[in-house]
């Protein structure tokens, strides 16, 4: 609160400097001397407070040099009107960046990777979109689950201790988003729904999409072929998790490290095959960050003649992609937790069975021991 108040006060005086100087010329220096003294003291105090809240580089760039006398501060701001007009915005952003970096450095690598991925442009579209259609609507369960992921919380308050693959869920609460053993319809539905969504928007743009087309003589199969007037584009969709242990080190330092890595893997796999046409990886991270190649696919569809006739084509397409991705995350997490709880219950049942067996053997041994003691007493030993 102190930072915002001082920055706003300083910016207001900087913007009002031309009018204040004109007022002083009209009233004369004698009548305004006490006011100027009090104002100079407040400006000096505000500058010292703001300088203490910013980095040295930000101070040198956004604030007047320390060599400028306080009495001449209004003249300085009058001569630098471009800086004074945006002072509050620039100072506030500099302060927020400094606070963000301070807290970011204290986070774990997994949280840093999550924050970097969620901070990319367009990653949080699902939070701001108006649920005006079924595809833009998230149920209470879906929104609650993905919001907990977005905030860095565990997917649920009653987390099972381990995944069905024995991975510790306390150390990796988002493990179900990238579990290697969790395959099948439930985990691939997120991928397949994104493919069908791309095909639907390609159809709206006037192209002819084909899902998983047959490639003559090729040893691989792509997810989507889009036939348009200017040629055919091959698309392969991949969704990655930047908090996975295999990539979290790089993803915590470099934005889109996970998505770029998966895109490179896809591109190398297709280059080594006998395809005669390049394949564009549509790589997206589970928190919503998209690579530049993925955005080029969206821009290419939005540039088609029929797409230009649809209002807000690109914005609506990205909104549906964002919501579909988060919907898939919610159900992948739900399915993974159900499987983990089932595996945990089976393990507890087996452990309880072993304990009952050991307990029964112990009771039998104890009964035999008491029988032997009674027999010895009876015979007078």
Model confidence over 63-108: pLDDT tens digits?
Answer: 777 767 766 676 777 777 766 777 778 788 888 888 888 889 999 9
Tell me what pLDDT residue 378 has.
Answer: 44
- Residue 342: φ, ψ to 5°: -65, -45
How many CB atoms are located within 10 Å of the residue 89 CB?
Answer: 11
3-state secondary structure of 231: strand
Cα separation of 381 and 374, whole Å? Answer: 10
Q: 139 is written with which tokens?
A: 């149920």
Reported confidence tier of residue 323, pLDDT bands at 50, 70, 90? very high
The last residue of one of the domains, among 59, 79, 99, is 99
Other residues' Cβ atoms within 10 Å of the Cβ of residue 43: 19
Copy the structure tokens of residue 35: 């006011």
Residues 202 and 86 in one domain: no
Tens of pLDDT, residue by residue over 261-284, are 999 999 988 887 777 788 999 999
273 or 217, greater pLDDT:
273
Nearest partner of 338 among 163, 174, 209, 187, judged by Cα: 163
Question: Is 132 inside a domain boundary?
Answer: no
Reported confidence tier of residue 197, pLDDT bands at 50, 70, 90: very high
Q: Are residues 80 and 210 in the same domain?
A: no
Going by C-alpha positions, the residue among 288, 323, 310 that lies closest to residue 193 is 323
Residues 201 and 317 in one domain: yes
Position with higher pLDDT, 202 vs 344 = 202
Residue 341 counted as domain residue: no
Encoded tokens for 376: 């010895």
Q: Does residue 220 sit within a domain?
A: yes
Examine the fold and report which residue of 99, 117, 138 is the final residue of a domain before the chain moves on: 99
Question: What does residue 67 show for φ and ψ, rounded to 5 degrees?
Answer: -75, -15
Residue 333 inside a domain? The answer is: no
Same domain, 190 and 77: no
- Write out the residue range of the structural domain in which residue 21 sits: 2-99
One domain for residues 84 and 222: no
> Tell me, what's the pLDDT at 275?
76
pLDDT attached to residue 158: 84
| pLDDT per residue as tens digits for the range 140-180 | 999 999 999 999 898 888 888 888 788 888 888 888 888 87
* pLDDT (mean) for 220-248: 90
Indicate whether 217 pLDDT > 70: no
Tell whether 206 and 318 lie within a shared domain.
Answer: yes
Q: Are residues 208 and 300 in the same domain?
A: yes
Residue 167 exposed, middle or buried by CB count within 10 Å (0-12, 13-18, 19+):
middle
- Coil/strand/helix, residue 280: strand
Question: Is the domain of 65 the same as that of 188?
Answer: no
Q: Is residue 155 part of a domain?
A: no
Question: Domain for residue 13, yes or no?
Answer: yes
Backbone angles phi, psi at 312, to 5 degrees: 55, 40
DSSP 305: H
The answer, yes or no, to whether residue 224 has pLDDT greater than 70, is yes
Q: Tell me: do 219 and 92 sit in the same domain.
A: no
- Assign 122 to helix, strand or coil: coil
Residue 290 corresponds to which tokens in the numbers above? 């998209």
Q: How confident is the model at residue 28 (pLDDT cuts 50, 70, 90)?
A: low
The structural domain count of the chain equals 2
> Is residue 129 in some structural domain?
no
**Residues 85, 193: one domain?**
no
Beta bridge partners of 224: 211, 235
Percent of the chain scored above 90 by pLDDT? 38
For the chain, helix, strand, coil in percent to 5 are 65, 10, 30
Name residue 265's beta-bridge partners: none
Q: Given 288, 308, 327, which residue is the final one in a domain?
A: 327
**Over pLDDT 70: what percentage of the chain?**
78
**Looking at the domain assignment, is residue 151 inside a domain?**
no
The DSSP letter of residue 290 is B
Q: Are 239 and 197 in contact (CB under 8 A)?
A: no
The whole-angstrom separation of Cα 64 and Cα 207 is 57
Per DSSP, 72 falls in state: G
Give the end-to-end CA distance of the chain in Å, rounded to a whole number.
89
- Are residue 76 and residue 185 in the same domain, yes or no? no
Q: What are phi and psi of 277, to 5 degrees?
A: -140, 140
């Amino acid at each position: 609160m102190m930072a915002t108040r001082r920055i706003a006060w300083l910016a207001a005086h900087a913007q009002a400097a031309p009018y204040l100087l004109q007022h002083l010329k009209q009233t004369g220096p004698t009548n305004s001397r006490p006011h100027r003294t009090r104002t100079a003291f407040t400006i000096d105090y505000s500058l010292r407070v703001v300088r203490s809240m910013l980095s040295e580089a930000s101070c040198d760039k956004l604030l007047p040099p320390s060599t400028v006398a306080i009495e001449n501060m209004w003249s300085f701001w009058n001569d630098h009107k471009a800086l004074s007009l945006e002072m509050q915005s620039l100072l506030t952003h500099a302060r927020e960046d400094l606070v963000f970096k301070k807290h970011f450095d204290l986070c774990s690598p997994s949280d840093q990777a999550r924050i970097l991925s969620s901070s990319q442009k367009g990653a949080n579209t699902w939070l701001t979109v108006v649920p005006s259609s079924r595809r833009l609507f998230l149920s209470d369960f879906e929104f609650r689950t993905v919001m907990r992921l977005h905030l860095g919380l565990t997917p649920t308050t009653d987390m099972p201790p381990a995944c069905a693959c024995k991975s510790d869920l306390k150390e990796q609460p988002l493990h179900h988003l990238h579990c290697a053993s969790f395959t099948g319809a439930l985990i691939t539905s997120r991928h397949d729904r994104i493919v069908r969504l791309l095909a639907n928007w390609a159809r709206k743009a006037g192209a002819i999409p084909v899902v998983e087309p047959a490639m003559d003589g090729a040893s691989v199969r792509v997810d989507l072929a889009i036939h348009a007037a200017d040629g055919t584009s091959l698309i392969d969709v991949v969704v990655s998790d930047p908090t996975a242990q295999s990539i979290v080190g790089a993803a915590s330092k470099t934005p889109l490290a996970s998505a770029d890595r998966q895109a490179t893997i896809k591109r190398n796999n297709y280059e080594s095959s006998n395809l005669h046409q390049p394949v564009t990886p549509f790589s997206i991270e589970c928190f919503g960050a998209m690579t530049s190649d993925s955005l080029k696919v969206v821009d290419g569809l939005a540039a088609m003649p029929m797409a230009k006739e649809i209002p807000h084509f690109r914005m609506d397409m990205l909104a549906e992609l964002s919501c579909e991705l988060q919907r898939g995350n919610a159900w992948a997490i739900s399915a993974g937790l159900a499987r983990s709880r089932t595996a945990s219950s089976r393990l507890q049942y087996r452990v309880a069975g072993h304990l009952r067996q050991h307990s029964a053997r112990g009771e039998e041994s104890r009964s035999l021991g008491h029988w032997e003691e009674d027999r010895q007493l009876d015979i007078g030993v």
